[in-house]
Amino acid sequence: MVFARRISILFVTLLLAGLGGATLLRLAPGFSADERDLDSRLNAGSHEAFEAVRAGERNLGRFYLLYLSRLARGDLGTSRLFSRPVVELLRERLPLTMGTVLAGFAMAWTAGLALSAVSAMARNQALPFALGGFGSALLCVPSALMAVLFYRMDVPASAGVAAVIFPKVFFYSKRLFRASLAKPHVLTARAKGLGDVRVFIWHAVPPVAEELFSLAGVTLALGLSAAIPLEVILDLPGIGQLAWKAALGRDLSLLVSLTLLIGAFTLTANALADALAHATRGAGSNDDSR
């Protein structure tokens, strides 16, 4: 029953996200404008066909219902901007974006967890201070500016995604690890002569695993949002660049499809993170009962 309710909530959230994206684009200035109307090489029949397509998109409710009916059959419509099926565009561009996001996610979490662990266990405060300053500097740099800097330095987009995610992982996990290391049983283990690494792995990490899984879902969605300006500025043919062009070209079918895709990715990432956190909490409860 709980699972069915969660699926229903995810489904309704996706429908509302798609409708919200379509509404914003429909109300945007210049929605009815089409640069093809200025092309003198096209005949009257072509202009009438373009006008018929735009007329079908002006009634937002009718457009969205027709879009959902096509979606149920696996048809996402045809891009007005590219004159190609939306499914083909997504199939071509999605692997690049997912590879960029997952690579950046892996780099950020590897560096973030390692450096936060070192910072939490450090006896001298010089290193934690330096790492905190580095993380704070990354927090202050917008994704678009970071993309420009990486473009000048010829750095891959995955590094830009990692730079956006890293501060969130570093600061949050450092606070969790410090609180965990300050617990009485951890201090007792240290007083008995157990090594720092052993104490950290067996006593500091397990109590905060649930929070770390929740953070993973949030940062995975953050990585996808960070990839959009990076792909635009670095001119990478991913779905981020596709979303930018769809917004500029007022391509309603393409933009609604991208909204649903990004929304589905975000909701799925958070749902998986919540499931892992719940499983971790259940395992911890069983261990405590024993």
Number of CB atoms found within 10 A of residue 93's CB: 20
Stated as kind and residue range, the H or E segment containing 77 is none
Rounded CA-CA distance 102/204 in Å is 26
Task: Identify which of 28, 20, 13 has the alpha carbon closest to the alpha carbon of residue 247.
Answer: 28
289 Cβ contact partners less than 8 Å away, ≥ 6 residues apart: none
Percent of the chain's residues with pLDDT above 70: 85
pLDDT at 120: 86
pLDDT tens-digit readout, 188-229: 777 777 777 777 888 788 888 889 998 998 999 999 988 988
The answer to whether residues 197 and 166 touch, using CB atoms and an 8 Å cutoff, is no
pLDDT at 36: 59
With 0-12 / 13-18 / 19 or more C-beta atoms within 10 angstroms meaning exposed / middle / buried, residue 248 is exposed
pLDDT band at 111 (very low <50, low <70, confident <90, very high): very high
Which domains are present in the chain? Answer: 86-289 (1.10.3720.10)
pLDDT tens-digit readout, 218-256: 999 999 988 988 888 888 999 989 988 888 888 888 988
pLDDT of 90 strictly over 70:
yes
- The partner residues of 78 in beta bridges, in order of sequence, read 85
pLDDT of 289 strictly over 50:
no
Amino acid at position 19, single letter: L
